[in-house]
Amino acid sequence: MDILAINGVNKRFGGLRALDNVNLNVKEGTIHAIIGPNGAGKSTLLNCLVGRIIPDEGSVDFNGHRLLGRHPHQINQAGIARVFQTPEVFGELTVMENVMIPAFASTDGAFQINLWRRAADRRQVAAEAEEILEDLNLIDQRDQIVNSMSRGDKRRLELAMCLVQKPKLLLLDEPTAGMSRADTNNTVELLKKIAKRKITKVIIEHDMHVVFSLADTVSVMAQGTVIAEGAPDQIKSDPRVQEAYLGG
Out of 9, 22, 26, 44, which residue is the one contacting ligand ADP (CB under 6 A)? 44
Does position 44 interact with Mg ion (CB under 5 A)? The reply is: no
Of residues 60 through 119, those in contact with ligand ADP by CB under 6 A are none
Quote the DSSP letter at residue 101.
H
Residue number, 43 or 225, with CB nearest to Mg ion = 43
Candidate list 43, 47, 76, 219; residue touching Mg ion; CB under 5 A:
43
SS3 169: strand
- Rounded to whole angstroms, the Cα distance separating 152 from 142 reads 15
Tell me the C-alpha distance between 155 and 160, whole Å: 9
- Name the 3-class secondary structure at 90: coil
Q: Which three-class secondary structure state does DSSP give residue 117?
A: helix
Is 43 an interacting residue with respect to ligand ADP (CB under 6 A)? yes
Q: For 233, how many CA atoms within 13 A lie in the half-sphere containing its CB?
A: 0
Among 13, 52, 233, 242, binds ligand ADP (CB under 6 A): 13
Q: Which is nearer to Mg ion, 135 or 158 (CB)?
A: 158
Q: Which of 36, 55, 79, 167 binds ligand ADP (CB under 6 A)?
A: 36
DSSP lists the bridge partners of residue 22 as: 9
Q: What, of ligand ADP, Mg ion, none, does residue 44 touch, CB below 5 to 8 Å by kind? A: ligand ADP
